[in-house]
Chains A and B, each alone.
Chain A
Amino acid sequence: MSNNELLEIEPMYLQFPFELKKQMSCSLYLTNKTDNNVAFKVKTTNRNNYCVRPNYGLILPKSTCKVLVTMQAQKEVPSDMQSFEKFMIQSVLASPGVTAKEVTREMFSKESGHVVEETKLRVTYVCSTTTNITSSPRTRRGFIFQCFC
């Protein structure tokens, strides 16, 4: 991934404990390494599958913001327990005096001349301890695949 100058993102991927027919959550920690306010925004390739709170906001200097990403309950185990969906964190320096409520999409518009940093994050799954691996043949195959990786 790119080396961010504004935000430090931990971890560099989203790992969901997979469980059938239940929502799954994981957390991202965005740390502002600069001495100015940094506005951020979260994007994804599949918006209907995720709930991001907060999906945009303002981080004070040297502060950390926790972003909770919740995944929609799934009816089937994904093929090979893999996800092809991605997330993107956009960050931009906020002008002094801007409050969290005033963060707008215009700030992340590159056409307006803003320097927007982008970091892409992958989505991975891990087997939850309560996963019923015998619910379908694909689950079994995925489990074996997971063990041998």
Chain B
Amino acid sequence: MHPFCCVTTVSDHSPSMPPLPEPQPPLPNYAADFGSARSEPIITRSASQSYNHSGQFNNNLIHSLSFNHHQSDVTDRLGQRVLALPAAVREPPVDVKINDIVGNGIAGILYKWVNYGRGWRPRWFVLQDGVLSYYKIHGPDKIFVSPETEKGSKVIGDESARMISRHNRRGGSSSSCQLRRKPFGEVHLKVSSVRESRSDDKRFSIFTGTKRLHLRAETREDRTTWVEALQAVKDMFPRMSNSELMAPTNNLAMSTEKIRLRLIEEGVSELAIQDCEQIMKSEFSALQSQLVLLKQKQWLLIDTLRQLETEKVDLENTVVDESQRQADNGCSGELRHEKFSEGTATESDDDNERGDAAEEEFDEEENTFFDTRDFLSSSSFKSSGSGFRTSSFSSDEDGFESEDDIDPSIKSIGCNYPRVKRRKNLPDPVEKEKSVSLWSMIKDNIGKDLTKVCLPVYFNEPLSSLQKCFEDLEYSYLLDRAFEYGKRGNSLMRILNVAAFAVSGYASTEGRICKPFNPLLGETYEADYPDKGLRFFSEKVSHHPMVVACHCDGTGWKFWGDSNLRSKFWGRSIQLDPVGVLTLQFDDGEILQWSKVTTSIYNLILGKLYCDHYGTMRIEGSAEYSCKLKFKEQSIIDRNPHQVHGIVQNKSGKTVATMFGKWDESIHFVTGDCSGKGKLSEDMSGAQLLWKRSKPPGNATKYNLTRFAITLNELTPGLKERLPPTDSRLRPDQRYLENGEFEMANTEKLRLEQRQRQARKMQERGWKPRWFMKEKGSESYRYKGGYWEAREDGSWVDCPDIFGHIDSDQQMIE
């Protein structure tokens, strides 16, 4: 039965076909069809002609042609009847059941949800042959319903009945539109599912693989009727397995016995009867071939429908989820719910991102880890001013402590010296200083050597050039460390520390805008600093040209040199070119030498005065390695001033280490050659700190002196009695300036410089330095020795009173 029903469904898929007549008893139905006006003439004509002209071939041919002319009509009718007949005969109970429920179809008005703009719209729904179709009943596409069109259908709903009655009056005018109705939409119930709404008694939905219908009935009872009918129709077409579909078609055994008997009664000849039998058999054979083709098509179509049903199930799950969300949000609209859902998702995403960002910040703050050390730093525990060496000159946060990966025994070098208490402030000024116009002074001295110009003391700082030489040794611990490294055979670390020491001498020049005092001829400066493990001594050995010689005995090393600055005044700046060589000799005999780089002082007239150091410094000697340091000149474009870059090379010229940093900040190094600028940031992570500048004192002076510089002009208890009369600490104008007695300072400065006019004469008359002398065959001055011994004895017999008044000088001359 099922294959035939399916075939019927496929062939009748077009709802525009008029509904079939009501089923009749099988046998009378069959006879009635053949008794119709259209069929009867064919049979009658054939019988009579055959009877009148029996035996004539020509007449027989005409009859055959006439019969073939109506072949298609007969085939259609026969096919339909044959299909209906076995079903009715074989399973009468099922037929009765189906007719009771479905009959010729179910029709009625249902409201369909269109969209938010239109809402619920009435449509005429027709359930027939497994297909639910709906038509518009308003607007240009509307259809007319009347008792004639809905004859045989079961109408659901009072509104539907009233509509039919209303159209009954106009039945005649709408007859032309009744013949064919084009559905606005249709749903194949075989691949659909029907659900009743829980929230609304009148609503239900039909889901297909590609779309969904939201429908609403007039009453709850109407909805129940519709849902029951839809479910019944679905049950009529259960899903079939592929094996059933592909089962071989059984050949239909057809008997022509009855037609033979009928024709015999009519008196047709035996030959004609045989022809009729042959014709029927061939026609049925052709019909069977067509049925096989149709069955294959039907199988393909059902397979497609099964795929659609699979997709429908997937979409159904999605719809169920959305429905649940709808219920949760109390939103009845699909679009509104979707928009709300999108908003929710977006907001939650933002919240997640913000949370992650906050967490990341927290983690970053928390995870700043540093390399550990295998020793304890004692600075955080010991109080300020304790025996710790650097505490005397630097705050506890000195960069000295931040050096990492340094051997503790090396690190302790320079920390074992006894502590000496020194002052931390300059004396408070006694007078208030009045400013002086620099412009009026400069315009009269363009092109002259500034060392010859008598400037007011306003432009000076309370230090002399002799003391400035000692300021270079603020970081002498680097030389102590270099000596220790060399003693252990680490030549690379030795020259690296020496190079760092050479650069560190410039750190104190940052912010120093005042000029040191020009020392008088024969003026000296000593610095006995046991807290640094060194003794320093310097003397002005020549007035024209001006040369300052110095000598320093350290712990394990000696350092000496004579410095001469050739100055040029360019109006806009002063350029100081260094002359002379600095020599460092370790106790093991190794010698290293280098020279200073060029210094320029800018913004003399306008703006804030500053100085810059630039050029190449080469550290060479008998050591295994040499070093080349390049001080970058500051430019307008460069935003990273005070840079220093250096390389350490071995005897064969290969670079074994690279240094970089700033001369007013710090110096780092990495082993190997990383001359590529792009690598600096990468190698910076592995760089090791060599030297870091001390922090400035808490209470800054107007001269921007460092902690170390503040102590240079100090007369510690008991020191004045041991100093020679030529020491810079005893210079009166310098002392007055430090005390803030500016009037006296100016007076004394003028007097001393006037007295200095005679220096050239003294030098021409064969004056020689007291503690230094030129080396044979060289212009360099070397320390003769004997100062500290004379200091011990307190005998300054040959030291004149260079700061005294002219009377004492004349007496000396006499």
Contacts and interface: CB of A to CB of B under 8 A. Distances in A.
Nearest to A72: B376
B366 A86 contact: yes
Interface in B357-387: 366-377, 379-381
The bracket for how many chain A residues form the interface is 20 to 34
19 contacts: A23-B376, A42-B372, A43-B370, A43-B372, A44-B372, A45-B368, A48-B379, A50-B372, A50-B373, A50-B376, A51-B374, A51-B375, A54-B374, A55-B373, A72-B377, A72-B380, A72-B381, A106-B686, A120-B367
Contacts of B366: 45, 86
Given A51-B376, A120-B367, A105 B401 contact: no
A34 to B, nearest CB: 23
A91 to B, nearest CB: 14
Contact of B370 (A47, A73, A75): A47
Nearest to B371: A43
B50 to A, nearest CB: 102
B11 interface: no
Contacts of B243: none
A111 B685 contact: yes
Contact of A88 (B369, B373, B377, B381): B369
B682 interface: yes
Contacts of B685: 109, 111
A48 B379 CA distance: 9
A131 interface: no
A62 interface: no
Nearest to A44: B372
A85 to B, nearest CB: 10
A48 B374 contact: no
A52 B367 CA distance: 18
B203 to A, nearest CB: 56
Contacts of B374: 51-55
B380 A44 contact: no
B333 to A, nearest CB: 49
Interface string A107-128: 0010100000000100000000
Contacts of A41: 371
B390 to A, nearest CB: 14
Contact of B371 (A47, A49, A72): A47
B124 to A, nearest CB: 70
CB-based closest 9 A-B pairs:
A43-B369, A52-B372, A55-B372, A51-B376, A53-B374, A47-B370, A88-B369, A42-B372, A55-B374
A82 B22 CA distance: 95
Contacts of A49: 380
A15 interface: no
A49 B405 CA distance: 16
A49 B682 CA distance: 29
Interface string A50-83: 1111110000000000000010110100000000
B372 A75 contact: no
B381 A47 contact: no
Contact of A48 (B367, B401, B682, B686): B401
A106 B670 CA distance: 11
Main secondary structure of the interface of B (DSSP, over half): loop
Contacts of B370: 43-45, 47
Nearest to A54: B374
A56 to B, nearest CB: 8
A59 B360 CA distance: 33
A145 to B, nearest CB: 23
A86 B369 contact: yes
Residue among A48, A49, A53, A105 with max Cβ neighbours from chain B (10 Å) = A48
Nearest to A43: B369
Contacts of B376: 23, 50-51, 70, 72
Given A47-B404, A105-B371, 18 more contacts: A41-B371, A43-B369, A43-B371, A47-B370, A48-B377, A48-B380, A50-B372, A50-B373, A50-B376, A51-B373, A51-B374, A51-B376, A52-B372, A70-B376, A86-B369, A88-B367, A88-B369, A111-B685
Contacts of B375: 51
A47 B401 CA distance: 10
Interface string A86-109: 111000000000000000011001
A75 B376 CA distance: 15
Given A106-B686, A109-B685, A47 B373 contact: yes
Contacts of B373: 47, 50-52, 55
Contacts of A120: 367
Contacts of A48: 377, 379-380, 401
Interface string B633-656: 000000000000000000000000
Contacts of B371: 41, 43, 47, 55, 105
Contacts of A55: 371-374
Given A23-B376, A53-B374, A75 B381 contact: yes
B380 A109 contact: no
B176 to A, nearest CB: 84
Contacts of A42: 372
B703 to A, nearest CB: 33
Contacts of A52: 372-374
A47 B682 CA distance: 23
Interface in B536-581: none
Nearest to A105: B686
A72 B378 CA distance: 8
Q: Which of B369, B376, B686 has the most CB of A within 10 A?
A: B369
Given A49-B380, A51-B375, A55-B374, A44 B682 contact: no
Contacts of A86: 366-367, 369
Interface string B674-692: 0000000010011000000
A15 B376 CA distance: 18
Contacts of B368: 45
B372 A109 contact: no
Nearest to B682: A111
A120 B367 CA distance: 9
A55 B405 CA distance: 10
B179 to A, nearest CB: 80
B372 A47 contact: yes
A70 B810 CA distance: 71
Contacts of A51: 372-376
Contacts of A73: 381
Nearest to B375: A51
A75 B380 CA distance: 10
A61 B366 CA distance: 32
A126 B377 CA distance: 23
A72 B373 CA distance: 12
Interface in B224-275: none
A42 B371 CA distance: 7
A53 B368 CA distance: 21
Point out which of B370, B372, B686 has the most chain A C-beta atoms below 10 A from its C-beta. Answer: B372
Nearest to A23: B376
Contacts of B372: 42-44, 47, 50-52, 55, 87
A111 B376 CA distance: 30
Contacts of A105: 371, 405, 686
A73 B381 CA distance: 7
Contacts of A47: 370-373, 404
A104 to B, nearest CB: 9
Contacts of B405: 105
Contacts of A87: 369, 372
Contacts of A72: 376-377, 380-381
A44 to B, nearest CB: 5
A11 to B, nearest CB: 18
A88 to B, nearest CB: 5
B538 to A, nearest CB: 38
Interface in A19-59: 23, 41-45, 47-55
Contacts of B404: 47
A105 B370 CA distance: 12
Of A44, A45, A47, most B-chain CB atoms within 10 Å: A47
A23 B378 CA distance: 11
A70 B379 CA distance: 16
